[in-house]
Structure formats: structure tokens, C-alpha cells
Structure 1
Amino acid sequence: MNAPRLIHDKAVPRWDDSVDVLVLGFGCAGACAAIEARRSGARVMIVERSSAPGGSSALSGGVIYCGGGTAIQRACGFDDSVEAMRAYLMASTGDRPNAEKIDLYCRDSVAHFDWLVSLGIPFKASYWPHNYEPTTDDGLYYSGSEECAPFNRIAVPAPRGHTVQAEGSCMGGRLMMDTLVAVAQREGVEVLTDANGIALIADGDGAIVGAGVRHDGETRYIRARGGIVIATGGFIMNRDMVARVAPAASLTAPLGNPFDNGSGILLGEAAGGATANMHAAIYSCPVLNPPGLIRGILLNGHGQRFVPEDVNHKRIGEHAVLRQDGRIFLLVDSEVFEQPAGARPIVATGDTTEELEDELGWPRGSIGATLNVYNRHARDGHDPLFGKKSRFVKPLTAPPYAVFDCGIEATGVYYSFTLGGLRTAPTGEVLTPEGSAIPGLYAVGRATTGLSAQSGGSSGLQLAEGTYFGRLAGRAAATALGLRSSPDRSV
């Protein structure tokens, strides 16, 4: 029988410790919440399930989505505005974007980036001219689909992927977390590792006043006078939960750390918190690698194009998983042909589209009609149907042709992580289904539904919202005590 996730304070046998703010989880969101709460004068403790800090943040490449005219953007010669950044995020994050959170983050993005730099997180003022994560230590690139249709018609494009300067692939996240951990320790944040928050404790009015924490085989009861901040990550590793509420993500490999199991979301629900967008996920699908393959055309199982090939690979993944049943193919000619990285089996070759169609078992004309329309406009360097950028548009007229299977089953390169979680106010308060805040309970990061409400396609948004909204929640929890905040309250 599972232990209850919500306990009445009258049933608590004892209080083993008492702090002002208790943070569950020591990834980037929990770290920033703890730092700001401590700087606001609170006594802060972080409870971390694993034996060391980091979470999924430390496993990432260290890309943080910032814009509006950061120092790095300006140094690299790019103009950006709050308005353009907001318009892009409103258009690219799903049918029901979180306008309030997007507005707030876009307005504060430059100052937030400066805050990260002030902590000692390094960024190099150099531009990486590709739409995939830098393999160098360059600090700025187009981490989303800002340059691509239809978004380049909605907002003035600018690169906003700010990459932590680190040696080695995917080391930026580790360096970022090492820096945040060092700052938290220097500020006097207490840390309890190998400890699992198993229950929230509520008083008679429903306010959250503490937590039960499992540590060294015993349950410790920790009072939190200002509040508890849930920063435990998403639920992609809870495969039963994924199958129940986000079944499409079950088709892909999980991307995260072993403790992305939804435990914090379940705690928040037990306290009366509402969830949103639990069906949503980011689908990573880097099938067009090397990037010269972008000059080919992606086809669905009916021989039709379905997306501009130059968009971010996460947007391709979203289309492939949610709209094409995980079955997509890449058509190239002899001039575009390159062997893709990883497993992309060739499933058809031929000098004519009819030969390809016969080998695939598709109706005659299915590929031919698509290729004829594409080539007709590609001769002039245009793609009027999907808007692929002209530098990637060339007619495919040099047989033999080849078709690669880029689907889920054939490649094994589809990964996902969840976007759904607890509904929160911008300052982190967990909301009930009726929209009221639960006193003393906050949540941040992937335990919540945030900037990427239902859709993604822009690398760096997770670290951006985790660090930024983590800060706001930490301040809010600390000031709930009536503690005097630090003189500089600027973001």
C-alpha cells in the first residue's frame, strides 16, 4: 500500500528540522530558487533524490534561450527585440501559449542573462552559423526555427540559443550546474542528498507547512515556514504515467535522468494542485545529419512533404510522431546524397520515381507528383509550399535517387521528454483547478507547465524557464515570511 502524499500537521510525530524555504530537487530550477531565497534572507534547504546535484540540467548541452538584445547577441552583430521574441514564442509554443509567462520572461530575458553571467556562468561572444547545437565553444546560434517558415513571417528572426562555454560535447549543462552549486554553497544553502520528498504536510487551512523526507531509511519531518518549492523534474521516466497521459511519448526513448518520474507532480496533485498539458512532450529527431541532407525532401508514408526540412529537429520530430504515425522518409538525388549519421536504412533506389514507388509499394505518382512540384519551383530557388530557405533549395534532378527510412522504428534516434505538469502562477504558486494559489506551495521547471506549453522546437527553453522562474519562486517563498529582500530586486 502506498504511503499518503499529503499528511495533516496534527499527524506529524515530531519536527526533525525547520527551515524557511525547502526546495525539492537540485537541478537548475531548484538551484536558482534556493539562491534567490537565500539572498532574500531565508534559511534554505535543498533535498535531492540522487547522491549529487545536477538532475537533467547537468545532462544537457547547456543551451539557454535568451533574447531581446543580450550582450552576446549585440557582440555578434544581431539586433533583437522583446516584441520579436514574444511574437516568436507565442507562435511556436502551441495552440494555447502561456501569454503571461512568455510576456514576463521576454521582458526580463536580458537582465536574466546578465544575472547568469554575474554568477560566473561563461558564454563566448561568437556565432555558430548552423541550426544545431554547436560542436565548438561558440556561444550563440539559432536554436529554434526563427529563420524558418512560417515563423520568419511572424517575427523578425534572431538567434537566441546561448550556449554555456565548455570544452566537450554536452558539457555546458554540467558546467552550468557546477557553477550554480558553487554559488548555492557559498550563499549558505543547506543540502541533503540521497533524500526523497515523499509527502507534503498541510495545516488545518490547507496551507503547506512542511514535508516528509525519506533519508537513510527513516522519514524526517521538515517544517518549511515560508514554503516548499517543487523542482523535481518531469515524468518521462515513469513509463506507466507516460503511457496513461502522454501515450505518443511511449513510442520514443526517454530523455532525462532516472528520477524524472513525476514524483513532485504527484505531490502537488495530492495537495490540491491542478495539472495542465500532461499529454505534451518535446520530440527530438535529428534525422537530417549531416546538414547537407536538408537539401533533400522529407516525405510521409503517402509520398507527400509535410514540413520545411530546415526547421529545428524537434519540430520535425513533433510532426513525425504526432501527425505521421512515426513514419517519415528522406528523398535525395546523387548530388545531395550523403550517408546519414546513425541508422537510416536505404529502402529504395532507382533512376525514376516510378522505380522508387514500386520498391516501396506506394501508388504510382505518389512521389512523382511531389517531386515534380518541388523541382518546378526549386529551379528558381523557391519553395512556395513550405518556405524552405533558398540556400537549401535545389532541384532533385540527378539520378539515381535514394529513399532513407527516417521513421521511429528504423532509426532509434527519437527521444522525448514531458512538458506537462502543475499549473502555476508566474511566481511559482501552485494553483488549484479553480485558479487559486495553494499557500506555501510552489513549483518550477519541468514539474510545471511553462513556456513550452504544448509544443517546443526551440532548444534552451527548458533551462531558460527553469532558471528564471526558479528565481521568482524562490523570492516569493522567502518573502512569504515577511523577510526583507535584498536591496537589488532587479531580475
Structure 2
Amino acid sequence: MSQSSNAPATSADGTLHIEPALVVDGANSQWDLSCDVLVIGFGAAGASAALAAQKTGAKVIVADRFDGGGASAKSGGIVYAGGGTPHQKKAGYEDTPEEMFKYLRMETGDSVTEPTLRQFCEDSRGLIEWLESMGANFESSAPPPKTSYPKDGIYLYYSGNEAVAEYAAVAKPAPRGHRTRGSWLSGKAMFEFLRAEVSRVGINTMTQTAVRRLITDKDGKVLGAELWQLTPGSKEAIQHDKLIQKAEKVFNFVPAWADSLRAKARAIEMAHAKPLRARANKGVILSAGGFIFNREMVAKYAPKYKMTMRLGTAGCDGSGIRLGQSVGAVADKLNHVSAWRFINPPIAWPKGIAINTKGERFCNEQVYGAKLGVEMCEFHDGKAWLILDKKLRKIAIREALFGGLWFFQSVPALLLMLLAKRGKTAQELGNKLGIDGAAFGRTIDAYNNAITNNTADPLLKSNDYRAALDTKLYALDIGAHMSCPAITLGGLRVDEKTGGVLNANGTTIPGLYAAGRTAIGVASNRYVSGLSLADCLWSGRRAGNTAANS
């Protein structure tokens, strides 16, 4: 089989080229590989799908363009789970699937139907048990805090807006962020349990194997896919891996260089990968992540987030979504992005106020960072400042230096405080920011007066997070251009009972399923820490079960 002639030889950022589906005569076509279920993408969703399918007795092949793990292995390893897990009970918190549902209904909106969300909540405790059966551990040794990411030793925490007044009024608060025990970011530790289980049960995993197109019959049924694999152990494969590993290390600091490294890796794929046709007798599962690394897709579908920092890996280039679209699948919610602007820790920061270019508060500073980030990007052009006074700034600097924070919390906090603009009055600081100083002054007066008069905060911030601001003020630039990480949330429409991919008529495409961020799921409207990973695991198992039993 020769390399497709219409695939470009180079790419500016290493994005995988997806070709139109290959239509074959299913009865007479020749295949290099055969399986029951072919899983494309080996992150949390792909691993879960493969394990679920294999458990039914299905023969499974997993293909990943790189070495597996994807964004899941780069994550904090947090699984959003509740309903009364053993770890919640041990920490003294009562929770039920109903309370979890009421909270998530507020966060997720119409991302999935009510029955699906209820099922997700009912299955939550079992998801934790399933992970622990593979060796994962979520045991915590300290009370759950409210933070962007907890310290080692703390593996249960409030990972969303559960304790914020407007949410607590609807659903009884409980910590549901279950962080996999491990040092540093726990995503890799969690994924390695999945990888080890995939290996233990004998699932065929093909790494450095890209899928550039699906294969269908004349009626549109997905029969399999065309895989392009670098010869394992070859010098090209080794060089490809080195380029990707280097790109992953530097993309937060010099993204242009990282993109050039990915482009070189892609050129190796195009020149040296060998094609293989893989037949999937029961189904193909797309689980290749989102598209935050595909800047063309971001510019087209979510332009308000172009200035954010990409969070994930090179595999998050929308290839799974584009493969689905190549056979008539419909994508939705592609404009939904989670942008993370955390202002806790330091714990003194939320006591200040976040303002927009009009000098007005626009969000309760106590809320989860993704809510603040999305409000900023969606409605305020990605521009915002956090206003502190001298006292709050001093407390925050002390915590950043000596409070035992993670470096990705302390270093950016210190830089923002050192680079902050300052003014003795709101008018003076407003002039430096290029905003209406008089309006800014009225905002501060209203904030302070509510505290002095012991009246409720207009944006419902809790009293514990309120502090009257003095006259010497500091403005920290917390805009989207200041290292604001983001992930995409939209994907292919699927049948919520099966994970089967839907076409424009709302009917399933035979032989095709999707999971994780390649698909619409629980986290496709809004995100709280651990919800995407939990959805990847849950939807992956759903797709694997259904495909294997089709």
C-alpha cells in the first residue's frame, strides 16, 4: 500500500492530517490486522474503553500516535466522584448521588440529559472502586481544603464551587475531588495503573501509530481504519519520540519552538510510517482528546480563547473529532472551552476584587478558577485585573514564599505581584490601567461599604473571603494572555446510552463510537477539576461495553 498522495508533507505545528474516509468492498477487501474493537487514542478514555471491551471477551487493538497517556497523564489525576465514597465518609462528609446530581446540574446545564447525569452520579462510587481494584489509591491524610490543587498528602478536596453560597443553597456541599495518591501531578500515576492493567490483560497496544482515515463500506458503516505506524525500535521511531518529548517539556515556555519540534516529528511520520489496514468487526472507538493544540480549529470555533495557553499534549489536535466528521458525524459545543484563572492560592487573593476594563467587578472572586476564567474570556475580552491593597499583597507574598505551595502556584503569584501596577488612589491606578478611574473608585467604595455595613456581597462572596481595601492599591494583570491554561470541551454528538456517534439526522453511524473529550459529555458545558477525567473514564467504559456487545 502506498502513502496517500493528498497528505501534505509538512505542517506548521505538527497537527495530524485527516483524509476522507476510504470506501471499500467489505466482503472482498484485504486487511493487515483484525480485531473486534479498535480504540483510537490511548488516554484515560481509550484505556477505559479497551478494558471494558476486553472484559466481555472482545479482541481489542489500541492505537496511539505517540506513547499513550495523552492529556490524562499530564493532568492532576483528579477524579470527580461522590455519592458517598469511602473517602468522603472517612473524612466525615455525608454525600448522596442526589446531592451530587443537584450540584452538577448547576455546573453542567444541558451538556447531557437528566437521566444520563443521574446515571453518571449513581455510577460514581463504583468508578472509584474500579480504579482502586487496579491499584489506585485516593486515601487522604488531611482535611479537604479549597485550592486550585492540593499539596501531597491531601487527596480529597473541594475541587469546584460546592461551598460557594449560590451552589450550597441548592446542594449540600461535599468535597468530591478525589486525587490519585502520588507525588507532584498525579495524572501520570493514575494513567500508569490503567496502562498496567491494559498490559496485564493482554490488549494489543500500538504506539507511534497515527490514524489518518477511517474505512467504511458503501453504506457508510465504519469497518475499520488505516493506521500509519513507525517501525518499533527504528531510528526514525527513536528520533520521533525524542522530538515529542522535548516539545512536551518546552511548550509552556516557548510554544513556537515546541510547534516546530512537533512539525519535525510529523515529517518523520509522513516519510517513514508504514500503512496498515485494521478491520474492526464490532466497532471503532474515537478517544483522541480535544483540539486545544489545533490553533486553526481554536481560531474557527473558539476565537475568544486564542490567547490562552494550551493545556494537554500534541495529540489534542482534534484528530478524533475530524475523523468522525469525515464519515458524516456532527460536532457540537466546539466553542466551549475551559480557561483556568485561579486566584486561590494565595488565600488572600480572593479577598480582593477582580475588575474588567470598565473598572467593575464581574465575578465572585471566591469561585472555582475555570468559572472566573470563562467569565473573563467570554464576556470581557479576556482582560481583567485583581485588585489588592498593601496588607493583602504582603500576606500573599509571605504565603507564596513560605506557605509550601506548588511552584506552579507560588512562582506565577510572585511574578504577578512584582509586576503589579500600583496607585495611591483608585483614580491614579485607573489612569495607569487605562480604565475609568471614577467608576473604579465607585466599585471599591461599594465593596468596602458592604463590608463596613455588614450587608451581603452583591456577587454573593462569603464573608470569609471579604476584606475592605485600603487606599494604596495594586493591580495584578490576570488576563488570558498571562499564562491562562485552557482545554476544549466540545466534541462529537453521541447517543447517551451507547456512546454511538450521531450523524446530522440524529441516527448513529454504524460501527462508530466516541468517548472522552472527542465526544459531547458531562463536562462539555463547564468544567470543575476532575470532571473531565471522570467523564473520560465513565464514557470510555460505556463505549467499550456497547461496541463489544454490538
TM-score, shorter chain, exceeding 0.5: yes
| One-letter code aligned to 1:92 | E
CA contact (8 A) 1:56 1:257 kept: yes
**17 and 323 in structure 1: CA distance in 2 versus 1, 3 angstrom threshold:** same
CA contact (8 A) 1:286 1:413 kept: no
Structure 1 counterpart of 2:210: 196
Q: Aligned match of 1:392 in 465, 484, 499?
A: 465
Q: More helix per residue: 1 or 2?
A: 2
CA contact (8 A) 1:94 1:452 kept: no
* Residue correspondence of structure 1 range 16-31 to structure 2 within 5 A: 16-31=32-47
**439 and 374 in structure 1: CA distance in 2 versus 1, 3 angstrom threshold:** same
Say if 2:418 is the partner of 1:404.
Answer: no
**346 and 43 in structure 1: CA distance in 2 versus 1, 3 angstrom threshold:** same
CA contact (8 A) 1:382 1:390 kept: no
Q: Aligned match of 2:509 in 435, 438, 462?
A: 438
Distance 1:75 1:380 in 2: 40
Distance 2:455 2:61 in 1: 57
Which 10-residue stretch deviates more, 282-291 or 298-307? 282-291
Tell me how far 1:14 sits from its aligned partner: 1.9
CA contact (8 A) 1:289 1:341 kept: no
Tell me how far 1:97 sits from its aligned partner: 4.9
Distance 2:218 2:431 in 1: 71
- SS of the counterpart of 2:483? coil
- SS of the counterpart of 1:343? helix
Tell me how far 1:362 sits from its aligned partner: 3.3
Which 10-residue stretch deviates more, 376-385 or 12-21? 376-385
Structure 2 counterpart of 1:349: 423
| Superposition CA RMSD, Å | 1.8
Structure 2 counterpart of 1:222: 278
CA contact (8 A) 1:49 1:259 kept: yes
CA contact (8 A) 2:216 2:224 kept: yes
Tell me how far 1:361 sits from its aligned partner: 4.1
Distance 2:304 2:434 in 1: 27
Structure 1 counterpart of 2:529: 459
Distance 1:308 1:136 in 2: 28
| One-letter code aligned to 1:478 | A
Tell me how far 1:59 sits from its aligned partner: 0.5
Structure 2 counterpart of 1:48: 64
Tell me how far 1:93 sits from its aligned partner: 2.3
Distance 2:115 2:334 in 1: 19
**364 and 471 in structure 1: CA distance in 2 versus 1, 3 angstrom threshold:** closer
| One-letter code aligned to 2:284 | I
Distance 2:42 2:455 in 1: 48
Distance 1:205 1:469 in 2: 27
Distance 1:111 1:218 in 2: 41
TM-score normalized by the length of structure 2 = 0.82
**335 and 97 in structure 1: CA distance in 2 versus 1, 3 angstrom threshold:** farther
Structure 2 counterpart of 1:488: none
Q: Aligned match of 1:470 in 515, 536, 540?
A: 540
Q: How many residues align?
A: 472
* Structure 1 residues 130-168: Cα deviation after superposition (integer angstroms, max 9, x where no partner): 23211223111111111114222222211110000002x
Distance 2:457 2:356 in 1: 19
Q: Aligned match of 2:342 in 279, 286, 290?
A: 286
| One-letter code aligned to 1:192 | M
* Residue correspondence of structure 1 range 75-474 to structure 2 within 5 A: 75-94=90-109, 97-126=112-141, 127-167=143-183, 169-170=184-185, 172-216=186-230, 217-337=273-393, 338-339=396-397, 340-344=413-417, 345-350=419-424, 352-379=425-452, 383-396=456-469, 398-409=470-481, 412-426=482-496, 427-456=498-527, 458-474=528-544
CA contact (8 A) 2:111 2:521 kept: no
The answer for unaligned runs of 5 or more in structure 1 is 481-491
Tell me how far 1:425 sits from its aligned partner: 1.7
Distance 1:441 1:207 in 2: 8
TM-score normalized by the length of structure 1 = 0.92
- SS of the counterpart of 1:291? coil
| One-letter code aligned to 1:279 | N
- SS of the counterpart of 2:416? coil
Tell me how far 1:31 sits from its aligned partner: 0.3
CA contact (8 A) 1:141 1:161 kept: yes
Tell me how far 1:408 sits from its aligned partner: 2.8
CA contact (8 A) 1:47 1:195 kept: yes
| One-letter code aligned to 2:226 | G
| One-letter code aligned to 2:194 | L
Tell me how far 1:364 sits from its aligned partner: 4.3
* Structure 1 residues 372-423: Cα deviation after superposition (integer angstroms, max 9, x where no partner): 2211221365543111121111222x332222222234xx221111111111
Say if 2:21 is the partner of 1:39.
Answer: no
CA contact (8 A) 2:523 2:535 kept: no
- SS of the counterpart of 1:365? helix
Distance 1:174 1:246 in 2: 28
| One-letter code aligned to 1:346 | A
Distance 2:138 2:202 in 1: 26
* Structure 1 residues 339-367: Cα deviation after superposition (integer angstroms, max 9, x where no partner): 433335322321x3333334434334212
**349 and 224 in structure 1: CA distance in 2 versus 1, 3 angstrom threshold:** same
